[in-house]
């Protein structure tokens, strides 16, 4: 979120979705907040937890605005209590369109009964790498395909370097897994972590999944893996590259989309990311801020000393992760058209 740039207490439009969630959770009390967190994804828990830790001196007006917005939203909801896979499918297709909804539907309905694989989402990347490192590369590919891209990238980073390109190629060429095989894998993992369950879906893998994972790798690892894949299969390497979303692609996003991204990005993170950007990218960002916010950002950028390339790449990937999350939620379009008349 842009650190209070242009914010007025009580104006819900100037509070990012993640910050609203954090404020609302803090207003629930420890026990109730803990119960809500149990139903969130690991990434959401980490995001909201970080914001909760950074909040201080939240005004009563802001809390009232957040709670009021929540009540209004809740009152408009329908279908509460419906436990139907078909209802979920229709709802997501209507919201996101059939293409975008496909992977989301598979993930949601699969996770309802996949305790073995699901448990990996909450594990430290190094621990997951230790669990799977001795498995066949095809098994590792299936496991990483099931996890969030950022988490999968961190796990891949902890695998032996010689195995990384092989695993990523298998992910890219994975065209689905027989339910029986996925069920067996889930049961094996469940025995390790205890519990029970069964798999219903097999929508994992593909070029896009491989590209998403590669997006989250650091620059050196990304280059090494891409070169290794190119040597083995140049056409596949190009397909993966075509699906990747890099920092320069932000230039293709419309103004409304850029503004949505800026609301969920920390100022310091954005400054670091822009240290490695060209003038066109900087102007794209500045033109979608208020003039005061843009002037402040330019001054901070000039005042910031030299930054390691590794830190710039990490900051840019964090900004891209926000963009991808918003795109998957249907809140922005990557490369779409829209209005440029809103400010953050």
In the structure encoding, which two tokens stand for residue 151, read together? Answer: 């988490």
- Whether the per-residue pLDDT at 191 is higher than 70: the answer is no
| C-alpha triplet 147, 150, 153: angle, nearest 5° | 85
Instruction: Kindly report which listed range (126-135, 139-148, 170-179, 223-232) carries the lowest average pLDDT score.
Output: 170-179
- The pLDDT-based confidence of 326 (bands split at 50, 70, 90) is confident
CA distance 177 to 198: 14
The mean pLDDT value of the chain amounts to 75
State pLDDT tens for residues 193-249: 554 333 333 455 688 788 878 877 777 888 888 888 888 888 888 888 777 777 888
- Whether the per-residue pLDDT at 329 is higher than 80: the answer is no
Residue by residue, DSSP assigns 56-97 as -S--HHHHHHHHHHHHHHHHH---TT---HHHHHHHHHHHH-
**Could you tell me the fold of the domain covering 113-243?**
Annexin V; domain 1 (1.10.220)
CA distance 328 to 43: 14
State pLDDT tens for residues 253-272: 888 899 999 988 888 889 99
State pLDDT tens for residues 50-63: 787 777 777 777 77
Letter string b/e over residues 150-185, b meaning 16 or more CB atoms within 10 A of that residue's CB: bbbbbbbbbbeeeebbbbbbbbbebeebeeeebbeb
CB distance 154 to 74 below 8 Å: no
Angstrom distances, CA of residue 238 to CA of 20, 170, 211, 243, 297? 40, 15, 10, 9, 36
Ramachandran class of 10: left when φ > 0, alpha when ψ lies in -120 to 50, beta otherwise: left
Query: Which residues have C-beta within 8 Å of that of residue 238, sequence separation ≥ 6?
Result: none
- The pLDDT-based confidence of 34 (bands split at 50, 70, 90) is confident
| Structural class in CATH, domain 247-328 | mainly alpha
Same fold, 113-243 and 247-328: yes
- The pLDDT-based confidence of 27 (bands split at 50, 70, 90) is confident
The pLDDT value given to residue 286: 92
State pLDDT tens for residues 79-127: 444 445 566 666 666 665 666 556 555 555 544 444 567 777 777 888 8
State pLDDT tens for residues 268-318: 889 999 988 888 999 999 999 998 988 998 998 888 888 888 888 888 888
Domain boundaries, given as residue ranges, for the chain? 12-76, 113-243, 247-328
């Amino acid at each position: 979120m842009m650190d209070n740039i242009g914010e007025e207490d009580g104006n819900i439009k100037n509070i990012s979705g993640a910050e609203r969630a954090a404020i609302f959770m803090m207003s629930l009390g420890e026990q109730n907040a803990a119960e809500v967190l149990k139903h969130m994804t690991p990434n959401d828990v980490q995001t909201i937890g970080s914001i909760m830790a950074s909040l201080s001196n939240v005004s009563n007006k802001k809390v009232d605005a957040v709670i009021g917005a929540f009540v209004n939203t809740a009152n408009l909801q329908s279908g509460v209590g419906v436990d139907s896979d078909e209802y979920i499918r229709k709802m997501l297709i209507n919201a996101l369109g059939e293409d975008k909804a496909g992977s989301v539907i598979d993930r949601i309905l699969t996770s309802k009964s996949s305790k073995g694989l699901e448990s990996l989402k909450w594990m430290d990347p190094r621990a997951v790498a230790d669990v799977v490192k001795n498995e066949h590369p095809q098994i590792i590919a299936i496991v990483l395909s099931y996890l969030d891209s950022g988490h999968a990238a961190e796990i891949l980073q902890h695998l032996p370097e010689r195995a990384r390109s092989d695993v990523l190629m298998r992910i890219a060429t994975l065209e689905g897994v027989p339910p029986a095989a996925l069920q067996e894998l889930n049961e094996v993992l469940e025995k390790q972590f205890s519990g029970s369950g069964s798999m219903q879906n097999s929508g994992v893998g593909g070029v896009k999944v491989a590209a998403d994972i590669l997006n989250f790798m650091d620059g050196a690892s990304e280059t090494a893996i891409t070169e290794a894949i190119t040597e083995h299969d140049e056409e596949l390497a190009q397909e993966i590259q075509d699906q990747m979303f890099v920092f320069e692609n932000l230039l293709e996003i419309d103004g409304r989309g850029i503004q949505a991204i800026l609301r969920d990005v920390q100022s310091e993170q954005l400054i670091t990311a822009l240290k490695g950007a060209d003038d066109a990218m900087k102007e794209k960002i500045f033109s979608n801020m208020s003039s005061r916010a843009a002037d402040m950002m330019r001054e901070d950028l000039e005042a910031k000393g030299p930054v390691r390339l590794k830190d710039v790449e990490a900051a840019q990937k964090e900004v891209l992760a926000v963009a991808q999350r918003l795109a998957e939620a249907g809140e922005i379009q990557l490369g779409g058209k829209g209005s440029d008349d809103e400010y953050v």
